[in-house]
Amino acid sequence: MSQYTKLALCVGLAFSTSAMAEEFRQHEAHVHGHVELNIAQDGNELLMEITAPGADVVGFEHQPENEQQKAVLAKALEVLNQPDKVIQLSASANCSIEHIDVQANLASEEDEEHHDHDAAEHEHEHEHEHEHEHEHEHEEHSHDDHDHQGHDDHDHDEHHHSGHGSFTVEYHYQCQSFAELEQIDTSWFLHFPNTEHIGVNLLTDKVQTALELSKDNAVIKL
């Protein structure tokens, strides 16, 4: 388990005993337009974990399928790997970045078609299931060729888009004067305008709270 997974668990446990537990649980769901930001203090260290739907960051949740999508993904990764473009801390706190990790967990075609099967079993099981469903539908229903083809296309389309893609970003700062850290600003909405809200779970020595940021309110006061 990574340090940042532990961070999310610690923040989650802290909020599970508070009046904000339900809000925290709602934030965890994969909802387009909503990004999750966990922030925790550990001594002079500041840990951040951002979880965002792929649709918010790049406009799609699958592996890039053309040059344009590849360029969009490359640009997003470039921004996310530069913390100062995403997060701004009070200069007087003298915080420096110690660790950056950016993961683009975008669904492959196999994931989208059969997100509940592992890749090794996908091809055989999908073919068997398709043949079985085809025979079953042929025996029990009397559709003309046009209706049957439309049904197959509809089923395949729904299955094809069943996977979710997301981005996970981890920033680890070391602050020489943590007491001077008075606010945290974010430029997330500037770079990723598909996001409507950022749900923040904040846990420091002085503050334990959950709040929501928007394009018009992108500052966290400590």
- Do 44 and 123 reside in the same domain of the chain? no
What's the total number of domains in the chain?
2
Task: Examine the fold and report which residue of 129, 145, 160 is the final residue of a domain before the chain moves on.
Answer: 160
- Do 58 and 103 reside in the same domain of the chain? yes
- Do 125 and 188 reside in the same domain of the chain? no
- Do 122 and 14 reside in the same domain of the chain? no
**H or E segment and range at residue 52:** strand 45-53
The per-residue pLDDT for range 133-153, each reduced to its tens digit, is 545 444 454 444 444 444 444
Residue 146 structure tokens: 């046009």
Q: Report DSSP letters for 146-198, one per residue.
A: HHHHHHHHHHHHHHHT----EEEEEEEEEETTGGG--EEEE-HHHH-TT--EE
Cα 38 to Cα 61, 110, 131, 155, distances in angstroms = 22, 31, 46, 37
pLDDT of residue 164: 80
- Do 127 and 201 reside in the same domain of the chain? no
pLDDT of residue 121: 46
- Do 198 and 120 reside in the same domain of the chain? no
- Do 128 and 171 reside in the same domain of the chain? no
- Do 143 and 51 reside in the same domain of the chain? no
The per-residue pLDDT for range 178-199, each reduced to its tens digit, is 999 999 999 999 999 999 999 9
- Do 149 and 211 reside in the same domain of the chain? no
Averages of pLDDT over each 10 residues, the chain, 222 residues = 52 47 48 96 97 97 96 98 98 98 84 45 46 49 46 42 81 97 97 98 94 97 92
Residue 104 structure tokens: 């683009």
**CA gap 170, 35 in Å, rounded:** 14
* Residue range(s) defining the domain that contains residue 9: 3-107+164-221
- Do 11 and 32 reside in the same domain of the chain? yes
